[in-house]
């Protein structure tokens, strides 16, 4: 297996992009990544997308978007793993380059979610849950994560204020990200007084519905310096794990087993521990998700993730900044694109190009992207050579 590096990144401003089509927003990000890499072609491409058929009535994205980029007949592959589609598309691209099959590979993610009403969007997202045992009975993802939050609060004493602290922190980080969908600060009181969605989760505990795309270019590390003007960022580890789709099949509703397993494998591949991490980008689709994820990653002890944002440990300037980009909560969550946008943030941080949200002396970064309630998780670790 060859060492692989990321040499180009691209992303557009996320939000409600009413006047742009899925292919248009994808092409913007893809061309920016190719230009940033300094290459004039790619040998293959992967597209992470969860539900384009339900959101915009378009499937067959691999062929459509390869043609849109005017790079057909290269192989174009659409990858789906619910909200982890982008992370898994990146992993497939990494495997492609590492195996020696191709030398220059484009990994992308896209979702156009606002062309349908809220009910249709909820139905599309619900396909990532267990249809027979969860969705059929009317349980939505806010409801599922609400149950996880209650379990965590009951087992570990996590408080309502600690949930709010995650939203406050990530929105503060998001004000430093010019591409974020909601780059505004919020207070704990505003979070706790916002509309109740699924107890204990309120609307400001939830990531938004978003249109957006992101893209990155991967090459063999040994070729990187001859292709790009940027310092290459090495992919030190890639790991993927799954868990039962339905919550009722899990031993503990307050634990993310797939994240724990993928993180353990990634740390072993990279030869590091959580203590080495300079920062991480994690899947904060709901505030409770970030709390549970940092525990499964080993950044906080089991049951103690709630104090991370509240104490400042996971804020910019803290021991391990979590979601310096603003995370899904502030940056937005176009589900198929999220995992790729996390990689983009990691690359910018390790290049020292993250602007006002730059993590000082960043050397090791981790991204964690998960689908559903953690039924699939993809973890990557990056190193500044």
Report residue 185 CA to chain centroid gap.
Answer: 21
Kindly report whether the global pTM for this prediction surpasses the value 0.95. yes
List the catalytic residue out of 49, 83, 206, 285. 83
List the catalytic residue out of 173, 240, 333, 380. 333
Return the CA Rg of the chain: 19
- Is 171 considered catalytic here? no
Task: For residue 367, count CB atoms less than 10 angstroms from its CB and return exposed for 0-12, middle for 13-18, buried for 19 or more.
Answer: buried
Q: How far apart are CA 303 and CA 296, in angstroms?
A: 10
Which domains does the chain show, CATH number per domain? Answer: 4-117+209-232 (3.40.47.10), 139-207+234-383 (3.40.47.10)
First to last CA, the chain: 18
pLDDT in tens, 124-142: 999 999 999 999 999 999 9
What is the DSSP annotation of 251-275? Answer: S-TT--HHHHHHHHHHHHHHT--GG
The full 3-state SS of 111-134, as one line of letters, equals EECCCCCHHHHHHHHHCCCCCCCC
383, 351 contact by CB (below 8 A): no
- Is 333 considered catalytic here? yes
Confidence category of residue 35, pLDDT binned at 50, 70, 90: very high
pLDDT in tens, 146-170: 999 999 999 999 999 999 999 999 9
pLDDT at 217: 98
pLDDT in tens, 48-103: 999 999 999 999 999 999 999 999 999 999 999 999 999 999 999 999 999 999 99
């Amino acid at each position: 297996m060859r060492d692989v590096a990321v040499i180009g990144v691209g992303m557009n401003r996320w939000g409600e992009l009413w006047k742009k089509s899925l292919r248009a927003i994808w092409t913007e990000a893809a061309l920016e990544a190719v230009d940033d890499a300094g290459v004039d072609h790619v040998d293959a491409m992967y597209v992470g997308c969860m539900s384009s058929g339900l959101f915009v009535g378009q499937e067959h994205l691999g062929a459509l978007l390869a043609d849109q980029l005017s790079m057909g007949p290269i192989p174009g592959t659409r990858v789906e793993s619910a909200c982890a589609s982008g992370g898994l598309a990146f992993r497939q691209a990494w495997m492609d380059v590492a195996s020696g099959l191709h030398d220059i590979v484009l990994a992308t993610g896209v979702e156009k979610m606002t062309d349908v009403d809220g009910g249709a969007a909820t139905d599309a997202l619900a396909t990532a849950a267990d249809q027979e045992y969860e969705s059929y009975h009317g349980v939505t993802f806010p409801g599922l994560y609400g149950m996880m939050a209650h379990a965590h609060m009951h087992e570990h004493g996590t408080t309502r204020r600690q949930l709010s602290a995650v939203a406050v922190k990530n929105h503060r980080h998001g004000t430093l990200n010019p591409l974020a969908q909601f780059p505004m600060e919020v207070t704990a009181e505003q979070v706790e007084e916002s509309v109740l969605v699924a107890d204990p989760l309120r609307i400001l505990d939830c990531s938004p519905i978003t249109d957006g795309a992101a893209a990155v270019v991967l090459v063999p590390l040994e070729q990187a310096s001859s292709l790009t003007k940027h310092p290459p960022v090495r992919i030190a580890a890639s790991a993927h794990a799954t868990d039962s789709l339905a919550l009722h099949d899990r031993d503990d509703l307050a634990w993310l087993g797939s994240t724990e397993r993928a993180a353990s494998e990634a740390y072993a591949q990279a030869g590091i521990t959580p203590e080495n991490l300079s920062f991480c980008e994690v899947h904060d689709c709901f505030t409770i998700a970030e709390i549970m994820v940092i525990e499964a990653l080993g950044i906080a002890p089991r049951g103690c993730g709630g104090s991370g944002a509240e104490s400042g440990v996971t804020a910019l300037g803290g021991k391990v900044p979590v979601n310096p980009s603003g995370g899904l909560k502030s940056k937005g969550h176009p589900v198929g694109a999220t995992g790729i946008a996390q990689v983009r943030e990691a690359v910018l941080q390790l290049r020292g190009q993250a602007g006002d949200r730059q993590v000082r002396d960043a050397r090791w970064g981790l991204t964690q992207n998960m689908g559903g309630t953690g039924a699939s998780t993809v973890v990557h670790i990056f190193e500044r050579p």
